[in-house]
Each structure stands twice: as C-alpha cells, then as structure tokens.
Amino acid sequence: MEKKKKRLVLRTVILAVLALAIGYTVYGTATKEKVELVAVGSEAPDFTLVDLNGEKHKLSDYKGQGVFLNFWGTWCKPCEKEMPAMDNQYQVFKDQGVQTLAVNIAQTDFEVQNFVDRYNLSFPVVIDKTKSVMTAYNVGQLPATVLIDPEGKVAKIITGEMTEENIASFMELVKPK
C-alpha cells in the first residue's frame, strides 16, 4: 500500500511539472514580441559594431551613402568566393558614395583577421558577436546581403553567392544620384 501512495505522489508531481512547463510555453509564445521582418522599402535597423581595428561603425552614420551590407562566415564557401569580388567593387564604388560593410557572424577576432589577411580585404569588417544584428535583419543562411539606399531604406535583399557582375550592379543600384 505504501508503494502505491509513493508512486501516485510521484506521478502527480511529474504531471504537475509537465502542466506548468506546457502552460509557460503557451504563455511565452502568446505574449512574445512580434519581430518585424526587414523588407524592401522598410527602414534599415540601425546598429553599431566594432571592426578589427577597434573602430565603431554605426549604420546611421552612413546616411546619404549607399550601403552594401554583407553577412558572412569564414567557414562559408560561397562567402569565401565572393569576398575578393566584393573588394574589387569596393575599390570602384567607395569614392562614388557606396560603403561596403561585411558583418561576420560571431566568430573570433583571430579567425576573422586571418581570413581578412588571406584575401587582403580593404573594406570594413565587423563582428556581430551576439548575433543581434543578424537577428534584427532576420538573416538565416549565409551569405546574405542587404542593399541600403542613401535614405536608409532597404533597397534589395540577396541570399546566396553573387558574381562580381552582380555585386557591381547592386552597388550601382544604391549609389547616390
């Protein structure tokens, strides 16, 4: 008889814990903040990230310029392929009012610096250590690029690898008139 009582109490406790967990999950989902998706035409979410030289880059500081905002990782083969092409086009467009900003997703300074050195990249490279910018821009797969016009609005969103010709035409798209 004692064993049956203990078993009943244990089962009741387990059931109560499960009911609380389910209730908490349902409540959390119902009251969760709605994340607004970044879409073409919407205002680009502002952020501040630090580059490998310790300099801060705030998106709103580039207002009046086009911004080629690229999300990438050192392990991403398509990212690796497009980086030299991005650097070539950065050299062409940087004096025409188009800024390139490469946002690495949460890797170490050492890994990123080695990558930048290997490809001799000249554009600013920042690291999103907490993935907050990645989250704000709803980036899922890499590489991903968000083109921001001189007014700070999202002009185009590209996922996947780009050719140098693509990159040139995208930079032309956000170049100030």
Q: Using one digit for the tens of pLDDT, what is the confidence trace for 28-86?
A: 666 554 445 588 888 999 999 999 899 999 999 999 999 999 999 999 999 999 999 99
Higher pLDDT, 6 or 94: 94
Spell out the SS3 assignment of the chain.
Answer: CHHHHHHHHHHHHHHHHHHHHHHHHHHHHHHCCCCCCCCCCCECCCCEEEECCCCEEEHHHHCCCEEEEEEECCCCHHHHHHHHHHHHHHHHHHHHCEEEEEEEECCCHHHHHHHHHHHCCCCCEEEECCCHHHHHCCCCCCCEEEEECCCCEEEEEEECCCCHHHHHHHHHHHCCC
- Rounded CA gap, 16 and 8, in Å? 12
Q: Write down the pLDDT at residue 57.
A: 94
8: which 2 tokens?
A: 């009943």
Residue pair 118/6 in contact (Cβ under 8 Å)? The answer is no
Residue pair 134/103 in contact (Cβ under 8 Å)? The answer is yes
Torsional class of 64: left (φ above 0), alpha (ψ -120 to 50), beta (otherwise): left
Q: Write down the pLDDT at residue 157.
A: 92
Q: At what angle do helices 77-93 and 164-174 cross, to 10 degrees?
A: 50
Residues 6 or more apart whose Cβ sits within 8 Å of residue 103: 49, 69, 70, 71, 72, 126, 127, 128, 133, 134
Tally Cβ neighbours within 10 Å of residue 33.
5
Higher pLDDT, 134 or 31: 134
